[in-house]
Structure 1
Amino acid sequence: MTTVLLVLVVVLAIAMAYMNGFHDASNAVTTTITTRTLPESTALTMAAILNVLGALLGMMLIVVSTPWALRLLGMTPLTQTTSGQPDVLALALISIMLTTIGWDLLTWWLGMPSSTWHAFFGSTLGVSLAIGAPAAWERLGVLLVVSLVGPVLSAAIAYLLMQLVMGLGRHERLRRGHLRFAQTVSAGAVATGHGLNDSRLPLAVIVIAFAATGGSPSFATALMVAVALAIGLGTLVGGHRIIRVLGRHLTDLTVAQGLAAETSAAATMSLSLFGVGSPISTSHALASSVVGAGVAQGLRNVRWQVAGRILLIWLATPLACAVVGAALVGTMLAMTSR
């Protein structure tokens, strides 16, 4: 892999980290902003700081190595096929990241929460098939199962928590001040978990790129600080369009609903990180939790048309990114072969 291509891969990985923070800021602060528990600037600043701390914590909890990166991203078949052709691998990584960043931008513009992980895995599938590499179907199968179970689990936990909160409220064991404090804590947990979970994606790409050049992955981990800061900076700017959809268009969030949704999302993310070992989208977890908390107060409290559009985006993400990724890498390879 040439130095120019390596630098381009690293820059795009950091850009993807920034876009991830920008797109997913709503995962941590939607409920606190919508319910006026915290001012918007305070909520975004808190989420940005905790995203950075979560990302740095994630670096300390994992053993960064090339096998870890390949296993996390399901890229073993792709790297084996491009063995001895590091420039082709670089073009594949560039195509995957450009597709992921583009999809995040599109769904942000539409105001729809979507998964950066699903966009990345979908584009990886398309790119792999386009260059003749076998797809990591087993890894994709695990992701699909987790993608189906995760949102259902998040919605169920939020529903049960909302029932508990309403029960305590009827017996005057919870006051509004208690709920606001607990909601702030739960939002902080989601922000920290998001940084811990999603920082692994750009870091793994950097590790794979350095490994293809014969460099040491330990050197690539030094860029984790840049990745963490990029996620935090993106979060600070905030995906306001998605915040409006989740907080006002999907349902009219109350403080109690916000607490239940954030707590459920944090619990589901913890399960993915320390339990099943496969990433659960924070966007999916929070949106599903908002729906579950809304259903607890009655089916009419959820605007199902909006929920349907969000679900459609989730279903379209892997397929659309696979097609775009394949077309992009095909175009790049055709241009470089001339």
Structure 2
Amino acid sequence: MTPALLALVVLLALAMAFVNGFHDASNAVSTAITTRSLRESTALGMAAILNLLGALLGMLLLAVTAPWALHLLGLGELAASTAGTPDVLGAGLVAILLATLCWELLTWWIGMPSSTWHAFYGSVIGASLAIGAAAAWDRLVVIVIGSIVGPLTAVLVSYLVMQGILALARDERLRVAHLRFAQTVTAGAVATGHGLSDARLPLAVIVVAASVSDLSFGAALPMMVAVAVAVAAGTFLGGHRIIRTIGRRLTDLSVAQGLAAEGSSVLSMSVAIFGLESPVSTSHGLASGVVGAGVAVGPRQVRWRVARTMVAVWLLTPIVTALLAAALAGVLLELG
């Protein structure tokens, strides 16, 4: 891969890390902001620091190698088919990153939470087909399962947690101050888990680009730290449009509901990262948790029109990004 193309891939990976923080990580504290358990500036600052620490911790726990990165990203077939032409792989990476970034910015603009992982995997399928490589259909299975099982699990767990909180509240065993403290803890846990999970994505892209450019991991190591800083910087700015959707548009969120939603999100992330070793969407988990907590209070508490729009965005994510990445890859190959 030429130095200029490598630099472009690294730049786009860092941009994706920043937009990911801006788009997703602030969702971790959206419920705490809405219920006024934390001031907005305090919540975003806390989320930024914990995302940075979570990302750095994740790097320490990983055996970062090219095979690991290719497997995580679903790029094994694409890398194998372009083994003798690293610039073609570089063009594919550029198309994948651009498609993912475009979808992230569009969904932020319309205020809808969406999964960066699903957008990236959809882009990989589209770019692979455009280049003539076998598509990572196994990743499509992951997307489908994640889009169905993940949100349904989050809804169920949040519903049960909320029922437990309501039962304790009736016995006057819980006070609002207790709930606010617990919500601060769970918001911090979601932010840390997001850094631990999502920083792997741009990290793996840079590792792949460095490996085909004959650079050692030691040479790319400063970029890994830059990824963590980029995620934290994006988090600190906060994606306010999506915060409003999760905190206000889905339901009139209470402190107890916010705690239930964040608790279910923490549980789903923990199972996915440490149990199944698979990526998980913070946005899907938290938004579904908010719906589950709302249903526990009463189905009419949930604004189902907003929820349906949100699910439609989730289902469209891999389809739109696959088409966009395929088109971008075709244009880049023609220009190359």
TM-score (norm 2): 0.98
Superposed CA offset, 1:218-257 (max 9, x none): 4323322100000000000000000111111110000000
Name the aligned partner's letter for residue 149 of structure 1: V
Look up the match of 1:295.
295
1: CA distance, partners of 2:146 / 2:310? 18
> Where do 5+ consecutive residues of structure 1 fail to align?
none
Match of 1:186 in 2: 186
> Aligned pair count?
336
SS of the residue corresponding to residue 147 of structure 1 reads helix
Given that 1:207 and 1:221 are in contact with CA atoms closer than 8 Å, whether structure 2 keeps it comes out as no
Partners of 1:291 and 1:302 within 8 A in 2:
yes
Q: Distance in 1 between matches of 2:309 and 2:138?
A: 28
Matched, 1:200 2:200: yes
Once the two structures are superposed, residues 193-215 of structure 1 have per-residue CA deviations (whole angstroms, 9 ceiling, x without a partner) of 00000000000000000111122
Distance 1:43 1:37 in 2: 9
Q: CA deviation at 1:20?
A: 0.1
Residue in 1 that maps onto 2:332 = 332
Aligned CA RMSD, in angstroms, stands at 0.9
C-alpha distance in structure 2 between counterparts of 1:45 and 1:239, whole Å = 13
Report the counterpart of residue 76 of structure 2 in structure 1: 76
**CA–CA separation in structure 2 for the residues paired with 1:332 and 1:138:** 26
- Residue 125 of structure 1 corresponds to which residue in structure 2? 125
Secondary structure of the structure 2 residue equivalent to 1:333: helix
Contact in 1 for aligned 2:33/2:39 (Cα 8 Å): yes
- Relative to 1, partners in 2 of residues 1:293 and 1:244: Cα closer, same or farther, differing over 3 Å? same
Aligned-partner residue type, residue 45 of structure 1: G
Q: Distance in 1 between matches of 2:117 and 2:59?
A: 18
1:2-53 deviations in whole A, cap 9, x for unaligned?
Answer: 0011111111111100000000133211101100111100000000000000
Q: What residue number does 2:270 align with?
A: 270
Equivalences for 1:194-273 in 2 at 5 Å?
194-273=194-273
Between stretches 275-284 and 319-328, larger displacement belongs to 275-284
1:38 is matched with which residue?
Answer: 38
Return structure 1 stretches of 4+ with deviation > 3 angstroms. Answer: none
Residue identity matched to 1:101: L
TM-score after normalising by structure 1: 0.98
Partner residue in 2 for 1:144: 144
Residue 124 of structure 2 contacts residue 136 of structure 2 at CA under 8 Å; is this kept in 1?
no
Decide whether the 8 Å contact of 2:26 with 2:44 is kept in 1. Answer: no
Letter in 1 for 2:331: T
Note the C-alpha offset of 1:138. Answer: 1.9
2:104 matched to which residue of 1? 104
Q: For 2:83, what is the secondary structure of its paired residue?
A: coil
Contact 1:66/1:217, CA 8 A, preserved across alignment? no
Deviation at 1:289, TM superposition (A): 0.4
- Using the TM superposition, give the Cα deviation of residue 332 of structure 1 relative to its aligned residue in structure 2, in angstroms: 0.9
Distance between the aligned counterparts of 1:177 and 1:270, measured in 2? 26
CA-CA distance at 1:62 after TM superposition: 0.8
1 CA distance for matches of 2:286 and 2:218? 34
2:143 and 2:119 mapped to 1: Cα distance? 12
- Give per-residue Cα distances to partners, 1:129-161, cap 9 Å, x unaligned: 001000111232133223321111111110000
CA contact (8 A) 1:199 1:227 kept: yes
The 2-side partners of 1:162 and 1:303 are apart by: 18
The answer as to whether partners of 1:66 and 1:207 remain within 8 angstroms in 2 is yes
Identity %: 62
Name the amino acid aligned to 2:182: A
SS in 2 for 1:214: coil
Rounded to whole Å, the distance in 1 between the matches of 2:281 and 2:94 is: 22
Q: Distance in 2 between matches of 1:22 and 1:207?
A: 23
